[in-house]
Amino acid sequence: MTTNNSKEKVRQLQNKLYLTAKKCSSRRFHALYDKVYREDVLLEAWKRVKANQGSSGIDGISIEDIGNIGVEKYLNEIQIELIQGIYHPSPVKMVMIPKADGSQRPLGIPTIKDRIVQMATKIAIEPVFEADFQDCSYGFRPKRSAKQALEVVRKACNNKGYYVVDADIEKFFDNVNQDKLMKLVEQRISDRRILKLIKQWLKAGVLYGNILEISELGTSQGSVISPLLANIYLNTLDRLWEKYGLTHGKLVRYADDTVIICKNKKSANHALTLLQYIMGKLDLKLHPIKTKVVCMWDGKEGFDFLGLHHRRMISETRSGGTFNETFQYPSRKAMKKMKSVIKSNINSRSLLVVNEEDLIKAMNLKIIGWRNYYQTKTDGKWMQALDWYIICTFTRWYNKKHQKRSYLSQVGKVRTIIYDKGLRKMSV
């Protein structure tokens, strides 16, 4: 089967499932498992897993290994296991990922086989749930992005959104009630074999070194199916907000990151109370310190959402007049993280043997990626600050390489060299 052919067939399948689900909101799907082991679905699942890269799980089999084994052979083995009903997921390998604040967050790494089966299952069931998801949800959904969510927030804040409920769900992925999650899945899916697969993944457990832990709560952060399960669980919040919360404020959700933009303090307080009530229904808690009501009115306070800081500031019109608008620019945390990456990619001892061209080539990929995400209408000052930091970091590297004592001398010369050799800018 050709690659393009499998992609088109999968798209047609998903479209058909979506339209069927959209037509009847009470319909339960009883024949989806046979879609999971379809040859074209498994091939498309493999392509997506391969594109995401990632390391091997507890079996030690990597993406390269599967290429050596033979993709067709490997997928055929998975297909046989699924058809015969003998597929069993392995426990998830737990690794700790360092965070910008010095702490660590756990990340579960399933085996590549489990990632392929999860992706194939996601392909089959996602369109059914997409038909039910609300417009306020933007995270990990087809044709939806963080940029879209940020634009909705900006417009809502500019449209008399003077108070914002900045909500933080405490350890969301660790605290999802698995029984309630399965009941929500069962509202749309009655195929017992699909339900069994999802239960198996929830109960597969996590391997910390040599210790296996199986929890009654949570979904593994890092597994392919986890973001979809999170959206299924939090769709209850979205639906209840549509029913009871619209008079209080506009909810914008990206996975478990949530903000509610309100016209006044009274509405914001009502919104927070309602949100706490809904969280209680879902057996979740809002973080008592990180969850707060932010006053945007006078520009003294702001809030972070999806890596950008939001704050009301004064802008000038072309004729010299002034008006207030919501500025969006990289948050302090995002700036710190970017500076750390810049430093480690330019000014580390191991890179003194590298030439400017190679450093610039590697740095340009980072700059383009950041710029695509963080670029807004009001980011100028912050992007220029990052450009200056990149120039200074290159200058330190250049002077160390040429054994000059003063690390920041010749900054003008270095700036000319790196821009002449094609270094991109954060600010445009």
pLDDT at residue 141 in the model: 97
Give the 3-state DSSP-derived string for 343-399, with helices as H, strands as E and coil as C.
Answer: HHHHCCHHHCCCCHHHHHHHHHHHHHHHHHHHCCCCCHHHHHHHHHHHHHHHHHHHH
- What is the β-pairing status of strands 257-262 and 250-254? antiparallel
Inter-residue contact 151 to 323 (CB < 8 Å): no
Q: Where are the chain's structural domains? A: 5-231, 330-421
Copy the structure tokens of residue 60. 């030690």
pTM score: 0.92
pLDDT at residue 4 in the model: 65
Inter-residue contact 41 to 13 (CB < 8 Å): yes
- DSSP reduced 3-state for 409: coil
CA–CA dist 43, 410 (Å, integer): 54
Neighbours of 114 (CB within 10 A): 28
pLDDT at residue 1 in the model: 47
Inter-residue contact 150 to 191 (CB < 8 Å): no
Copy the structure tokens of residue 234. 């939090």
pLDDT at residue 100 in the model: 63
pLDDT at residue 316 in the model: 78
Inter-residue contact 147 to 140 (CB < 8 Å): no
- C-alpha torsion sign, points 266, 153, 222, 38: positive
Neighbours of 311 (CB within 10 A): 17
197-224 in b/e burial notation, b at 16+ Cβ within 10 A?
bbeebbebbbbeeeeeeeeeebbbbbbb
- What is the β-pairing status of strands 257-262 and 292-295? unpaired
Centroid of chain to Cα 407: 38
Neighbours of 344 (CB within 10 A): 12
One DSSP character per residue, 107-157 reads EEE--HHHHHHHHHHHHHHHHHHHTT--TTB-TT-TT--HHHHHHHHHHHH
CA–CA dist 142, 144 (Å, integer): 5
Q: Could you tell me which residues come within 8 angstroms of residue 428 by beta carbon, excluding any fewer than 6 positions away? A: 371, 375, 383
Copy the structure tokens of residue 144. 């939806």
Give the 3-state DSSP-derived string for 167-212, with helices as H, strands as E and coil as C.
Answer: EEECCHHHHCEHHHHHHHHHCCECCHHHHHHHHHHHHCCEEECCEE
CA–CA dist 146, 304 (Å, integer): 13
The residue written with tokens 């919501």 in the block is 326
**Residue positions counted in the chain:** 428
Condensed to tens digits (0 to 9), the pLDDT of residues 62-94 reads: 999 999 999 999 999 999 999 999 999 999 998
pLDDT at residue 404 in the model: 82
pLDDT at residue 252 in the model: 98
pLDDT at residue 319 in the model: 81
Alpha-carbon separation of residue 205 from 154, 179, 421 (angstroms): 41, 16, 51
For the chain, residues with pLDDT lower than 50 are: 1
CA–CA dist 134, 252 (Å, integer): 10
pLDDT at residue 101 in the model: 66
**What's the chain's average pLDDT?**
94
